[in-house]
Amino acid sequence: SQQGEEDPQALSIQEGENATMNCSYKTSINNLQWYRQNSGRGLVHLILIRSNEREKHSGRLRVTLDTSKKSSSLLITASRAADTASYFCATAKTGGGADGLTFGKGTHLIIQP
Amino acid sequence: GAVVSQHPSRVICKSGTSVKIECRSLDFQATTMFWYRQFPKKSLMLMATSNEGSKATYEQGVEKDKFLINHASLTLSTLTVTSAHPEDSSFYICSARERTGEAGANVLTFGAGSRLTVL
């Protein structure tokens, strides 16, 4: 079963606007990660936030984590057409490094030029 | 940064044949690689964990005799879809974690994926 559930499933905004995607998960986590996937390609790691962190920034990305609500959000500011992609949150089944990540269903983001 | 190469990117085969997909870590060693399957507009489903020098660990519901995984070296894992059928058509993606990666972080580097079409 999927650990993470993103919403919305699809999001279309105008270039320059901010895009916010949310993710909920069910079990305890060591960290939560966000990945991006361009159509028909592999995934690219964007950002990781640890369970003891509440907010993290990386360039135009801002991630928040609320462990009490088991939810995370990814904000992309000043969106660009090149940001069009699917975005997935991912969690590890345990805190160890040998486990594969479990991915949510993803949010398909479309940036209209 | 870490790079994972996956080949072939696309493969079309006849029903009943076997197809091998390779996953290589180009500039780092990976004792563990992961194989995922993705259906159109769906999430990634973890199929199995490939362990260098030992048997792969399969997720529940994944047929190990159908999806053979071999991890013969620290830089190469292969997935062989045996006796492929049209329902095996999918996008298969491998990933790896650097051995020297941040402890406990479990950040994965993904290959570009292989699209399998079984006729």
pLDDT for position B99: 59
Chain A residues close to B113, C-beta within 8 Å: 40-42
Whether residue B59 contacts residue B48, with contact meaning beta carbons closer than 8 Å, is answered with yes
Q: How many CB pairs under 8 A join A and B?
A: 68
Rounded distance between C-alpha atoms, residue A58 and residue B114, angstroms? 30
Rounded distance between C-alpha atoms, residue A8 and residue A107, angstroms? 6
pLDDT for position A40: 86
The token pair that represents A106 in the structure block:
């993803």
**Does the pLDDT of residue A2 top 50, yes or no?**
no
Rounded distance between C-alpha atoms, residue A59 and residue B119, angstroms? 45
pLDDT for position A98: 55
- Reported confidence tier of residue B34, pLDDT bands at 50, 70, 90: very high
Q: What is the pLDDT of residues B50-91, one digit of tens each?
A: 988 888 999 999 999 999 999 988 899 999 999 999 999 999
**Does the pLDDT of residue B45 top 70, yes or no?**
yes
pLDDT for position A74: 97
Mean pLDDT across A88-106: 76
Please judge whether B97 and A105 are an interchain contact, meaning their C-beta atoms are less than 8 angstroms apart. Answer: no
3-state secondary structure of B31: coil
Nearest CB to B106 within list A41, A101, A106: A101
Q: What is the pLDDT of residues A40-73, one digit of tens each?
A: 899 999 999 999 999 999 999 999 999 999 999 9
Q: Between these two residues, A27 and A64, which has the higher pLDDT value?
A: A64
Local structure of residue B59 (DSSP, 8 states) = P
**Does the pLDDT of residue A1 top 50, yes or no?**
no
